Amino acid sequence: MSVTGIVTATAVVGTVGLLIGLFLGIAAIKFKVEVDEKEEAVLGVLPGNNCGGCGYAGCSGLAAAIAKGEAPVNACPVGGEPVGQKVAAIMGVEAGDSVKQVAFVKCQGTCSRTRTDYAYQGVEDCRIMAFVPGGGPKSCNSGCMGYGSCVKECPFDAIHIVDGVAVVDQEKCKACGKCIAVCPKQLIELIPYEAKHAVACSSTDKGPVAMKACDTACIGCGICVKNCPQGAVTVENLHAHIDQKKCTGCGICKEKCPKKAIL
């Protein structure tokens, strides 16, 4: 190849490279996405678990919502009040009061307290039980099946199967809600960390049926309702529930419950 050819080729390559560089530079300026500094700052103080417990698609989604004023500054259940305070400082607002929440399993049907209809051998996943006869081997169709779908889903190692029932470690729980979402029986709810009493049963069966299936089943008798001085207990669909905002922790409902369904 002649010297002229080499020089020509070099010039062509250099010119093409220059044109591409100019094009990319102009495109970067024209299509530049404006970054919200507050959004970036909020994202920087969020824990980064991307658990979705706040209701948004990860921490970046929550940060964007907070920056736009679409979500409260204390919306992160994992970060709790400390993170809420930092976010509030970034946004220049008051954090407000926040109540620490923890997951609570509404069942205490351990292996010794419940009956089984048959011996099950197969995939140990609660969600699979919808395709199993009777919804699983336990006689109580409303109770915890104990196959640990919630355990596998929890990113904080805060829930474990103990004697056939899921039990939450309140000190580790961050109230992200993943266990709630995965439980096919909807047995798990969030209650205040400071809550004194809660109904540890989800059965809606009539008394004789419930008692036959589990020794500590709520039978919907209403004794707890009649004896609560604060009107914090109600029975609906043969199932008792405590309004934690009204409950003062006196313990009368627990003492009066004939089936010991209140913890």
Q: What is the CATH number of the domain that holds 123?
A: 3.30.70.20
For residue 28, the model assigns a pLDDT of 65
How far lies 204's CA from each of 54, 101, 112, in Å? 30, 25, 21
What confidence tens digit (pLDDT) does each residue in 68-85 have?
888 888 888 888 888 888
Whole-number pLDDT of residue 156: 92
Kindly state whether residues 111 and 183 are assigned to the same domain.
yes
Do 71 and 118 fall within a single domain?
Answer: no
List pLDDT tens digits, range 107-124.
Answer: 999 999 999 999 888 888
Evaluate whether residue 26 is within a structural domain: no
Considering the domain architecture, whether residues 121 and 135 belong to the same structural domain is answered as yes
Number of domain units in the chain: 3
Check residue 240 and give its pLDDT.
95
Q: What is the dihedral of CA 169, 171, 175, 177, to 10 degrees?
A: -20
Same domain assignment for residues 178 and 124 = yes
Domain that holds residue 63: 37-91
Q: Is 20 domain-assigned?
A: no
Contacts 24+ apart (CB under 8 A), 1-6: none
Domain termination residue (choose one: 193, 222, 244) = 193
At residue 4, the pLDDT reads: 73
For residue 18, tell me if it sits in a domain. Answer: no
Point out the residues of the chain with pLDDT beneath 70.
Answer: 1-3, 5, 7, 27-35
Indicate whether 45 belongs to any domain: yes
**Both 122 and 186 in a single domain?**
yes
Distance (Å, whole) CA 263 – CA 243: 14
Within a domain: 223? yes
pLDDT attached to residue 78: 85
